[in-house]
Amino acid sequence: MSDKPVLLVTGGSRGIGAAVCVLAAQKGWAVAVNYVSNQAAADAVVAEIRAAGGEAVAVRGDVGVAADIDAMFVAVDKHFGRIDGLVNNAGVIDLSQRVDEMSAERLERMMRVNVIGSILAAREAVRRMSTRHGGKGGAIVNISSMAAVIGSPSLYVDYAASKAAIDTFTVGLAREVATEGVRVNAVRPGIIDTDIHASGGEPDRAHRSASMIPMQRPGTAQEVADAIVYLLSSPASYITGAILNVSGGR
């Protein structure tokens, strides 16, 4: 069993998730770096953590597939023998479309990955961390988006709705397990400079959007990771059910 507290970060191979993995390792967490297809990116995050003297392992799994989520937690059990934190970070966008153009397949994928994947992963974490199940407690941070508040018209209202579901899920689960040693919070990033915009067909979106952001610049993955790792930490011991905007004022 690891002496260190163990953190699983879904989508830990790139972007915000990778920044969380590296920062959490610096703060003393042993880290399971989940990825779905980019093994090289996950291996690079693991190598960076190990080179700095930390503990990390890459774990493949699609959060859009229930069996993969179960297997991912079993892999963490086997490798580390414990789990103390979960960051539900893996998430997808899609091409800009109006709702009257969207296919059922698109909507099903959006909700399966962003919503159901996060809920199932939280279920597995609670089954292991909650004192009700004999666990020692822990912390969950869900990654929402300012889209949940803005609605993202003509871009991806479906994505915005999936993140609004994450907000409500965060508040509900936080209250459900509040006496069981498990804190549950969310972070709402604004426009952050990562690969996600390229996957939505607009690689330069973060910088093109600077004028719409009160601070006149996109955020960095590091700035979001700072907030997430804080919410995981014991200085945040009285914070649960909170949703923290990390959005440059947007």
Cβ proximity of 103 and 121 under 8 Å: no
| Interface segment toward ligand NAP; rule CB under 6 A; list 120-128, 148-156, 189-197, 231-239 | 189-197
User: Does 32 engage in binding with ligand NAP (CB under 6 A)?
Assistant: no
User: SS3 of 207, please?
Assistant: helix
Report the distance separating Cα 185 and Cα 170, nearest Å: 6
Instruction: Name residue 30's beta-bridge partners.
Output: 6
Q: Phi/psi of residue 102, each to 5°?
A: -80, 140
Binding to ligand NAP (CB under 6 A) within 40-69 occurs at 41, 62-64
Q: Which of 37, 168, 179, 216 binds ligand NAP (CB under 6 A)?
A: 37
Please, what is the minimum distance in Å from the beta carbon of residue 162 to ligand NAP? 8
Q: Is 230 a catalytic residue?
A: no
Q: 10 vs 240, which CB is nearer to ligand NAP?
A: 10
Please, what is the minimum distance in Å from the beta carbon of residue 77 to ligand NAP? 18
Separation in Å, CA 156 to CA 28, 151, 159, 191: 37, 8, 5, 14
Please, what is the minimum distance in Å from the beta carbon of residue 150 to ligand NAP? 11
User: Does 141 engage in binding with ligand NAP (CB under 6 A)?
Assistant: no
Q: Which of 25, 89, 161, 173 binds ligand NAP (CB under 6 A)?
A: 89
Residue type, 234: S
Q: In which residue are the tokens 């011991």 written?
A: 237
Q: One symbol per residue from 210 to 229: x for binding ligand NAP (CB under 6 A), - otherwise; what is it? A: --------------------
User: Does 135 engage in binding with ligand NAP (CB under 6 A)?
Assistant: no
User: Does 15 engage in binding with ligand NAP (CB under 6 A)?
Assistant: yes
Instruction: Name residue 138's beta-bridge partners.
Output: 182
Separation in Å, CA 74 to CA 136, 187, 227, 238, 243: 18, 26, 28, 30, 29
Quote the tokens at residue 35.
């990825």
Please tell me which residue in 35, 156, 159, 230 is annotated as part of the active site: 159
Separation in Å, CA 122 to CA 36, 52, 187: 18, 29, 15
User: SS3 of 177, please?
Assistant: coil
Q: Which of 5, 6, 17, 231 binds ligand NAP (CB under 6 A)?
A: 17
Residues of this chain that bind ligand NAP (CB under 6 A):
10-11, 13-17, 34-38, 41, 62-64, 89-92, 113, 143, 145, 189, 191-192, 194-196, 199
- Residue numbers annotated as active site: 159
